[in-house]
Structure 1
Amino acid sequence: MLEEFKQKIISVATALGLNGIYECYGSYFIAVDFCIVAIGSLAEGSTREQALSEVDSMLAAVLEIRKRCSPAKASDIYLMLVCPVGSIDSPFWKELAAEIERDDRLARKHVWLPCADSGNFEVFVANTFLAKPWDSPSGTVDALKLMADDLDMPKGWQEVLLNTELETVELINKLLLLDKESI
């Protein structure tokens, strides 16, 4: 399961600017433009103590990596773990995953509880920094469009604000003109 998980994470990270994949201290690490991700797995049949011991071993590897990173990258290390297939239906694994994710030592943690067919990976990724909130073909978020339905904007403002061809001064002048016209 670890290999499949690693490949899925690498695939998502590649779209975000994957810089490298490393194996050191018995763990896999990937470097994305802005952070480092350690990848690991928890074995089927593990007890709580065994699983937490495995997490501690991975955190020891994270600590070694942190020592070699710039301060900016050292503060942005993630540990992504995969549990056994079907663990999403197990109260034991759900409780353990929640406990691991609450632990804020050395790295932020995300735990994937795969369903029987591992088809819930996208849901897992959507709850991490690897999520792609955009849905436009250009690959960018247009926050104004996402919020437009909830905003009570003066007449004409939305059209001006969404006009990407306007320079800053032109945009401000058009907004002021619309404001004067509404008085």
Structure 2
Amino acid sequence: METSMHHSVDPYDALPPVPAFTLRSDDIADGRTLGVAQRSAIFGRPGEDRSPHLRWSGYPVGAMSFAVTCYDPDAVTVSGFWHWVVHDIPASVNELPAGAGNIDGKALPAGAKTLTNDAGQRGFLGAAPSPGEAPHRYMFVVHALDVPTLDDVPTTASPAWLGFRLVAHGLGRARLTPVFGIPA
């Protein structure tokens, strides 16, 4: 059931402000509908669960690593839904190819670590909102961090636990927020 507040809240507004930098993609764009590649086949609908290409620039001097997250604040839960969570991306990397979020992790740079998403998978899960809900927002965010690794984040940590470290070590954020909904 749709509520009028559904899309008014931006969870990043509740965090301490940090400078923005630029995120571009060959596959996704702000406010645009996700393509089939970034949708999920988890419930038998067309989808490829392929993470989008991402390229970032203009990040703060002093960035020693990056994290990439994809979060749906509009999932019908009290906690939203984490689709993809990667950290310890080396500072020398400013681009991930499409499919970097594959569960095998082969397209991620050396050293990058993927946490389990809210479906229990260590990779990218595409969009799969329930039919009839207003289109959900999928917040793809690159976080520039002031440490080379987040060694204090265990591989069993939840995305929310990593979120504390992203705030503590955040120098800047770059964002793209495509949308996707399925008509009733």
- TM-score, structure 2 length as denominator? 0.29
Structure 1 or 2, whichever has the larger Rg, is 1
Instruction: Tell me which protein shows more strand as a share of its residues.
Output: 2
Q: Which has the higher contact order (CA 8 A, sep 6+)?
A: 2
Q: Structure 1-normalised TM-score?
A: 0.29
